[in-house]
Structure 1
């Protein structure tokens, strides 16, 4: 079972295994993964990097390991947490917080070489932790418990979460008072005032939700058991189910930008989307065109989404790519075998800057390029 996924930039990411001592690393946007041994760590639960070289991983049996060379080598550090640790957060290479079973919240100010307790008054087995800035953070766990700190973890105050379910996933949008929580029995909670009031915004899953992640205040994902993956684009008002290959538990979700995201789970799978989770390419019907064609995108100008239509008159390999004004390819929308027909691709350019772009359709013996304008 893969238990956590963490990317330090759009190219470089890491995945850990709950029932082993290995970590997998990619440096090519998830196309290939290299396995490394984490030494003393067994049953890894959580992972955190402050940059592409420096990171920590922890799990059961009071074990913490650290790397300073991008995950190639790991060494043990002293770690006073009890049975298991499920949450790590580091502000920088020196200062970090950890939380886990046994009412434990601990802090280090020297890169993990020494930890001290900051759990006075805390009574909870913790599963998740999220900070909205370098002072304000939240930790959640059993029986619907959420604690908040406003002094970088030195002291914690319990909040009212409006649920008694275990809270497995927690995420606060950076530099805002808006946060989301994923709970047992399928609830998703939301706060807009820094945890002063939590409201239930989703109850339809019927099984545990394990993780939640937001790109901004409005656009986010929640996932859990039975392969459940939900997406919202309106701050949790409505949620749309997404199709994934994972049929059991999805443990963690991580997005590097509004389009590119990863999820890991119980079947040892690493799955990726380059369309923000939506199926961007659709076949527009059974009519086969007489010739290959590329339509003008609509709307144009656009912000941030536009539709690109094209037709192919026989089964063949198709590429649809987007370039900026320097000729650099910024997105490959299609690169696959398609059956004859008319197609529509919805491109979301939320991660791109304003300007002129060119989209190019390439098939057997056919190439055509058209302009489009993104205005934010």
Structure 2
């Protein structure tokens, strides 16, 4: 008997429609027109091109907030999906599971695909916009919306000056202190693991330890202390080999219409750092959930280390991609991305903390049950 053919779900059809819509807007130049109008609208308002570029970065950050909210709120479901992929084992089975979940309308997987596609279209469009030489060659008026004022030439305010703190004088403390710091980090990690095992055993024997402020402090300690050994060792090596003796303010200057290789390197390093910085809260939350579910500590440590390695690999890949891809784009692109990255630095301390709170998770669960 021939197996009945299954049709894609409504969710899959809607996701495909969204992807096709943004692809159409990109191919027809509407996404470029949108970002060009936004950039020159800000330029008309602020009068300085580099401030308009910063404003574009702020707008892009705000535009991505809903995706960040959904991404973090659904962190638990992504974890479950990854576990099911690992159970499939064989690559062909993994591809089959993905196809089945897409056709079946898995909301979380479809969101990931749509989110990735929209962000790719968005940043490719911004990069393409800044590749356009609208500084020396007058911009085609048709690339702006009718309500956006056409800029007067020459374009004003292309030179940016960004204040920053720098090590005015450093000293190399030597490899000896680096080895001492590494040994301390390893000992600290071992102590944290032993403390976690002790806490788990006490929790199993006495139900009272999980109550009150003491338990909350222990949970925060475990969440903030375990796992990031590689990051700590790399950071301690850099700091101890460049120990600051004097710190002073300085200005980082450049022209948004020209390529800036130093800014390119800074943006690439920031890209790698931001990926690590934004993924840490999700990893810690998964560890908390695993401990609450009574999963063995050895399994938790192994999984946590795997998550950290995946994060480091992603940071390396995207950091190198940002370095090589943007080397031919004027530094306006780096300035807009750098603005987004600076704002993202406070996300784990503000927006992410709110999203990952139990109150938000309960609300998300209620909405899913109603859906």
* TM-score class, shorter: under 0.3
State the TM-score, normalizing by the size of structure 1: 0.20
TM-score, normalized by length of structure 2? 0.20
Query: Larger % of helix: which?
Result: 2
Q: Which has the higher contact order (CA 8 A, sep 6+)?
A: 2
Task: Name which one, 1 or 2, has greater alpha-carbon Rg.
Answer: 2
